[in-house]
Amino acid sequence: MIDQLFDTEAIGILYDPHAILYLVAVVAVLFVGKKVNDFFTPYNLNVELTDKDNKAIAVSFTGYLLALAIILWSVLSSESTVAETDSFWRDLGADILDTVIWGAVGIALLQVARIINDKALLYRFDNAKELAEDRNVGTGAVQFGSYVGSAFMVAAALSGGGDQGFGQELLLTVIYFFAGQFAFVLFGLVYQFATKYDLHDEIAKDNAAAGLSYGLTLVSVGLLLSGYLRQYDSLIGLALWFVIATIFLIGFRAIVDKIILPGSALDDEIAQDRNWGAALIEGGCAIGLALLLIASF
């Protein structure tokens, strides 16, 4: 035990200069991701964040950057480490190329997620208008959840370690991504049915609490689906797991309402009082439940 506590072997790994090359590649992908997002959104990100102090766009863009980082983390984690062999530089170059390629794929899929969020998840209004003109933090929170939940799905698809060819891995990633988007839309319908208030109406009225609770719950859905995909491949099994996970999430919401927040009805706190603290507790409990369910099943 003493030898392990004072082992110095890890010091050389921590000072590995090749990690800088990975960092440069990651920063480059994040920079390109920002530029792509600027191109496909009708507002100027720099102006909205600095000149107008638009917190709604800040919340949405934070989710976008975090989602892209989750995808890149999955790529870097799945790459094999090669130690001092003749093929080291070749493998290092291949790993960096993988980071760039899958980063580009992640950027493209996140832009698709933004469109699906606008047209399917929050289909009653224009998300860009809500973010830029109305500064609707609730809309930004839903986009945050959609981005991060989608990233978990992509990351799970990439966690296999590259045993398949690039074409097949790309196809599976796209299939699982769209399966996740479909699951988000279905869950949105169930979530709307389970709440006493009109979710779209509350978000349209700039109710940040409603958007926050829904956005964080979308993160939990993405976590649950990605937990399945890290172990299994079947879409049929994924559909069954989605049904089970939805029952758990909706049921646990009732538990949060009655036990964790017994003083007042959760729906009233969110819809009438616009209590984003209660919404934060609901969303945080949903994410915690998702982690526990993944570990249990």
Q: Which residues contact 43 (CB under 8 A, 6 or more apart)?
A: 57, 128, 131, 132
Euclidean distance between the first and the last CA atom of the chain, given in angstroms as a whole number = 33
- Convert the pLDDT of each residue in 26-84 to its tens digit: 999 999 999 999 999 999 999 999 999 999 999 999 999 999 999 999 888 876 444 44
Sign of the dihedral through C-alpha 65, 56, 53, 278: negative
81 torsion bin: left (phi>0), alpha (psi -120 to 50), beta (else): beta
More confident call, 7 vs 288: 288
User: What pLDDT score does 12 carry?
Assistant: 64
User: What pLDDT score does 297 carry?
Assistant: 83
C-alpha torsion angle, residues 186, 188, 192, 195 (rounded to 10): 120
Which pair of tokens denotes residue 109?
């899929």
In angstroms, rounded to a whole number, what is the distance separating the alpha carbons of residues 116 and 99?
25
- Convert the pLDDT of each residue in 117-136 to its tens digit: 999 999 888 999 999 999 99
This prediction has a pTM of 0.90
- Convert the pLDDT of each residue in 194-248 to its tens digit: 999 999 999 999 999 999 999 999 999 999 999 999 999 899 999 999 999 999 9
User: What pLDDT score does 88 carry?
Assistant: 53
Question: Is 181's pLDDT higher than 50?
Answer: yes
